[in-house]
Amino acid sequence: MKRFLLLILLLLTMHNLYSYSILESETGNYITNFDARSSAIGSAIASGGNNLFDALTNPANLGFVQDKFGCQFTALVLKDADNRSLPMYNSFDAYCDDATYVSNINYFENYAFGAYYNMKFSDINSAVSVIYRPFMNFDSHYFEEVRNNQNSDYNSYPPIIAKNYIDSEGAINTLSILAALTYKDFVSCGIEVSKLRGNSDKERSIIWSDQALEKLGTLTDTTNTLTRDFNAFQIKVGGKVKVNRRLGFGIAFSPKIEFDVTGDKDGVDVENAVYSYTKFDSLDNPTDSLLYSDFYSPMRLRAGISYEPRNIMRTYFNCDIEYTKWSDVNSLYDDELSYYIGIEHRLKNRIPIRLGFNYQTCYSLHEHSGKVFADKVTIPTFTAGTGFTLLENFNCDISFEFSNRQYEALDLFMDSFYDYDELWEYPQYLNLQDRNWENPDTVKETFINIQSSISFKW
């Protein structure tokens, strides 16, 4: 009875909250895993997946489902701490430390649900499922205050000049139909066909304070908007071979996705609004532009191995490697390999202990001296988790993930925008110039993800 109450509590309280980085507010945050067991073992599930949502990584995993009918619901809580700092130097121009000037922590929500049905015909096992989930999320929030700190030594808070906001919301959701065939629990092949549809709304605003308006009444608030709608289809195929009771291999392939994008950027159709850069030839003629209507998901190829050693108590070892063709998204990006590794060990009372690690890569674009370059950002993640059975047919899995990354960036709101003498106490001592890449911000982010999956099998 206590476990049943715990199940209800999880369903009611852990309602899939997300917090995302401002770095991907326009390009989107990929949601790669919706199963808590798989998350706890580092998402290494190309061959070792045994729950419904593991079929989203490799559709062939669905073919090894043994129960006739089942469904799964996943809830997640993710915290993202974004800290931006400036390097500080003493009077001898020696580096002292990084001084954090803004920190953001936010929460947003999503959900995922799926069901499957399994049929057996002699040596052939067939399974079909329907899953609804977010594919990519655009939720993010950034806030900072601009203050006149020239009088901050007078035991009072420096007056606020302006409040800066970046708010982004929306998601690309996926309705997927999956099917898989298995022969003698030896080899399986599967396919996923998905309809992807969603939207995103981003607003970047500078709101002047009442004090600033009193000193300089000609100021007006600034708001930039970006609205987009996305449509696409996705096909993913996979295969899995169980060589014997202890060894298995899996492989999955998803091609590049090109989205049909409509919307506007500050009143300009996204078909004509330049996102980041325009390439010019030797005669300064434009040759190529990256537009807001250009939106792609890269080709991905994943392969994995699962192994069960000859232990008295069962232990499962899983390892995946994934090739991501980031050049499908932008020619400035390099194709990358991601690594996933995990282990599950079951104790005498059948309670599993799960540990894992994965290493992934993302990219961002920056402009310097009229040229655009791509910045590669690596994301190492450490994972852990466990699980238990509820009322025989219910399984509950819980996982914990910790990720961190660090990269350099310029001000999201440049200093020259506030270059009005009337706003400052001693403007003759100020030199408001936009910082360049000789003195960038250091951005440190940490992600803490607590995930719970509830599955029913009959």
Domain coordinates of the chain in residue numbers? Answer: 2-259+295-457
Q: What is the pLDDT of residue 285?
A: 65
Q: What CATH class does 2-259+295-457 carry?
A: mainly beta
Using only C-alpha atoms, the chain has a radius of gyration, in whole angstroms, of: 25
Taking 3-state DSSP, the helix, strand and coil percentages for the chain, each rounded to the nearest 5, stand at 10, 60, 30
Alpha-carbon dihedral sign for residues 132, 128, 317, 326: negative
Task: Evaluate whether 195 touches 182 at the Cβ level (below 8 Å).
Answer: no
Task: Evaluate whether 39 touches 447 at the Cβ level (below 8 Å).
Answer: no
Task: Evaluate whether 279 touches 332 at the Cβ level (below 8 Å).
Answer: no
pTM score over 0.85: yes
Residue 71 identity:
C
With CA atoms as reference, report the closest residue to 414 among 246, 241, 222, 264. 222
Q: What is the pLDDT of residue 225?
A: 94
Q: What is the pLDDT of residue 204?
A: 93
Residue 14 Cα distances to 9, 258, 406, angstroms: 8, 33, 29
Q: What is the pLDDT of residue 233?
A: 95
Letter string b/e over residues 406-425, b meaning 16 or more CB atoms within 10 A of that residue's CB? ebebebebeeeebeeeebbe
Task: Evaluate whether 60 touches 249 at the Cβ level (below 8 Å).
Answer: no
Helix (H, G, I), strand (E, B) or coil at 282: coil
In 153-210, at which residue ranges do the beta strands (DSSP E only) sit? 160-183, 187-208
In 255-348, at which residue ranges do the beta strands (DSSP E only) sit? 257-258, 260-265, 268-269, 274-280, 286-291, 296-297, 299-307, 315-325, 336-346
CB under 8 Å to 388, separation ≥6 — which residues?
3, 351, 395, 396
**10-residue block means of pLDDT along the chain (458 residues)?**
37 39 80 86 90 92 88 82 79 75 75 90 90 89 83 67 91 94 92 96 93 87 94 96 91 96 93 78 66 92 93 86 94 93 84 93 81 87 90 86 89 87 78 80 87 85
DSSP one-letter code for 206: E
Give the separation between CA 341 and CA 355, rounded to whole angstroms: 9
Residue located via tokens 């090739």: 323
CB under 8 Å to 41, separation ≥6 — which residues?
48, 316, 318, 342, 343, 344, 354, 355, 356, 383, 385
Give the separation between CA 313 and CA 249, rounded to whole angstroms: 22
Helix (H, G, I), strand (E, B) or coil at 258: strand
Q: What is the pLDDT of residue 258?
A: 95
Q: What is the pLDDT of residue 6?
A: 36
Helix (H, G, I), strand (E, B) or coil at 438: coil
